[in-house]
Amino acid sequence: MAKLIVALDLPHPPAIWQLVENLAELVEYYKVGPVPFTVGGVSLVEQLRRKGKRVFLDLKFFDIPHVVGETVQRLCQSGVDLITVHLLGGRRMAEAALEAKIKSGSPAALLGVTVLTSMTEDDWRPLGVKTDLKQMVKNLACLGREWGLDGVVCSPEEAGFLRNLCPSPFLLVCPGIRWSAATDDQKRVASPGLAAAQGADFLVVGRPVYQAPDPVRIVTEILKEIQRGEKGLA
């Protein structure tokens, strides 16, 4: 069954730990991105692991191969379960990350970020790339697979066609989970049920959970929807 990852994009450790405690019975996976990593660093990852949680470290590395390799090797030693690099960094960068992960002895899944779920075709076009956004997502996912990565981060709108191109166990990790057309920065979105029905392995949800008056109720609803989606009832 697709798993839920709750994004801990909160700048204050007490709020992070309160959320993790509230969701203790329901959620195993947490995303540590630039916001919580800035305030909590590697020790936040280690503390989550000590509590028996699994960690998606989503710092989306995009740098020269040497720097990405050195960084990934050290972070993998902190016990992360999933870690990201940008696929636009190219083959040598992705391979440096993969070699570093292997050298660290970590079983972490190395994921490639395709195109951010906040971007639309209108954001994409001015960049001057001749390939349209959806085709670029396909190209990047196929390259990531060819380069030996364990999966990609993509929009739930793209999970269906990527699942056909890149069968399991290649992982599809989908942020951009919303119940209606987003009014915030997320643009290529779908509901939890649809994301699960399209073949996503992980759904990453942040604000709809941590900004909710009752995060436990929302998470319970998301988990039910994932089950319905996988049964084709979304």
* Nearer residue to ligand C5P within complex by CB, 144 or 208: 208
Residues 52-111 that bind ligand C5P (CB under 6 A): 58
Strands 202-205 and 171-174: parallel
In sequence order, which ranges of the chain are alpha helices (DSSP H)?
13-22, 34-50, 65-76, 91-104, 121-124, 133-146, 156-165, 192-197, 207-210, 215-230
Nearer to ligand C5P, 99 or 170 (CB): 170
Interaction between residue 117 and ligand C5P (CB under 6 A): yes
Among this protein's residues, is 101 annotated catalytic? no
Confirm or reject binding of residue 201 to ligand C5P (CB under 6 A).
no
- Answer yes or no whether residue 186 interacts with ligand C5P by CB under 6 A: yes
3-state secondary structure of 29: strand
Instruction: Determine, following the binding rule CB under 6 A, whether residue 218 of this chain makes contact with ligand C5P.
Output: no
Which residues are CB-contacts of 165 (< 8 A; sequence separation ≥ 6)? 138, 141, 142
User: Are the CB atoms for 209 and 29 separated by under 8 Å?
Assistant: no
Q: Which stretch binds ligand C5P (CB under 6 A): 45-53, 159-167, 201-209, 224-232?
A: 201-209
Q: Angle formed by the axes of helices 34-50 and 13-22, to 10°?
A: 50
Q: Of the two residues 37 and 99, which places its CB atom closer to ligand C5P in the complex? A: 37
Amino acid, single-letter form, for residue 45: V
Determine, following the binding rule CB under 6 A, whether residue 207 of this chain makes contact with ligand C5P.
Answer: yes
Pairing of strands 109-113, 171-174: unpaired
Give the nearer residue to ligand C5P in terms of CB position, either 87 or 234. Answer: 87
Decide: 198 and 165 in contact? Cβ < 8 Å.
no
Considering the rule CB under 6 A, would residue 151 count as an interface residue with ligand C5P?
no
What is the pairing mode between strands 54-61 and 202-205?
Answer: unpaired
Handedness of CA 89, 94, 95, 99 (dihedral sign): positive
Nearest approach, Cβ of residue 154 and ligand C5P (Å): 7
7 contacts ligand C5P (rule: CB under 6 A): yes
Catalytic residue among 31, 51, 60, 138: 60
Interface pick for ligand C5P out of 3, 9, 37, 227 (rule CB under 6 A):
9
Among 68, 75, 116, 172, binds ligand C5P (CB under 6 A): 116
Contact residues toward ligand C5P (CB under 6 A) are 7, 9, 31, 33, 58, 113, 116-117, 153, 175-176, 186, 204-208
Catalytic residues: 60
